[in-house]
Amino acid sequence: MKEENIVLATNNLDKVREINQLLHDSTYRIIPQSKFNVVEVEETGSTFIENALIKARNAAKYTNIPVIADDSGIEVVALDGRPGIFSARYAGAGATDEDNLKKLIKDIKQINEKNRYAKFICAMVYITNSDDQKPIIVEGVWEGYVITKPRGTNGFGYDPIFYIPEYKCTSAELDNEEKNKLSHRGQALRKLIEKLNKVK
Ligand code: ITT
């Protein structure tokens, strides 16, 4: 079968790694946007979907091939959904994963232990060009709880404090394959590929 190249509009190498693993047996080949001279764009949207579309349309301006973008984050229900779309900059502009994790741990310590329900959300979009008026848009949601003592070293970002009761571990204690099977990103990408295969 013919392979199709797709640009991944992200600067996050962990997303590149996870999405590459998910597409390993497919006919789609991911090219990170770092291979092109894509100038970073500000994420000014008010939803995950809006931000994913902003990133995808921006990358598509610099490339002549289809683009996938992922906008994701964690929502803690008792914190009114924070950090949500601000997950990557929760501790301020230029914050590292570690800074953001520390800030979220501080905030969840204020919440009753029985009330620490949280979910990872991933909005993923596919466009064929920057003006594509019919983007494919999908979402994945992964439900769990946040804990205050980080556990595990796999994954990235908030994985060490995202506890999955069915597996009695955090997402940083899952191996890559297990995380991809369950995660918001894995769910979103499988939906996207299903839709994409239908229009091909
Ligand atoms: P790009 O915008 O370049 O794609 P980014 O890391 O800034 O990279 P987002 O704006 O989508 O991406 O922010 C996502 C943040 O949410 C990310 O920095 C993580 O802290 C968190 N996050 C998303 N998915 C995650 C996952 O699977 N595990 C742990 N944390 C995750």
Helix residue ranges per DSSP H, 35-169: 48-61, 97-108
Q: Identify the band that residue 35 occupies on the pLDDT scale cut at 50, 70 and 90.
A: very high
Which DSSP letter does residue 148 get? S
Distance from the CA of 101 to the center of ligand 1, in angstroms? 12
Q: Identify the band that residue 78 occupies on the pLDDT scale cut at 50, 70 and 90.
A: very high
Distance from the CA of 159 to the center of ligand 1, in angstroms? 11
Question: What is the value of pTM for the model shown?
Answer: 0.97
Write down the pLDDT at residue 156: 98
Q: Which of 158, 161, 181, 185 to mutate to test the pocket of ligand 1 (most atoms within 8 A of CB)?
A: 158
Distance from the CA of 1 to the center of ligand 1, in angstroms? 32
Is ligand 1 within 6 A of the CB of residue 73?
yes
Taking only the tens place, the pLDDT of each residue in 130-181 is 999 999 999 999 999 999 999 999 999 999 999 999 999 999 999 999 999 9
Q: Which protein residue has the closest C-alpha to ligand 1 atom 15? A: 88
Strands of the sheet containing 117-127, edge to edge, are: 28-32, 4-8, 67-76, 117-127, 136-146, 162-164, 169-170
Q: How far apart are CA 51 and CA 49, in angstroms?
A: 5
Is ligand 1 within 6 A of the CB of residue 186?
no
Distance from the CA of 87 to the center of ligand 1, in angstroms? 7
> Nearest-CA neighbor of 28 among 63, 4, 1?
4
pLDDT, mean of residues 30-56: 96
Q: Which protein residue has the closest C-alpha to ligand 1 atom 6? A: 12
pLDDT, mean of residues 4-22: 97
Type of residue at 171:
S
Q: Which protein residue has the closest C-alpha to ligand 1 atom 20? A: 157
Write down the pLDDT at residue 199: 86
What Rg do the C-alpha atoms of the chain give, in angstroms?
Answer: 17
Question: Is residue 200 over pLDDT 80?
Answer: no
Atom of ligand 1 nearest to the CA of 12: 8
Question: Is residue 45 over pLDDT 80?
Answer: yes
pLDDT, mean of residues 55-60: 98
Q: How far apart are CA 129 and CA 134, in angstroms?
A: 10
Q: Identify the band that residue 2 occupies on the pLDDT scale cut at 50, 70 and 90.
A: confident
Query: Residues with catalytic annotation?
Result: 71
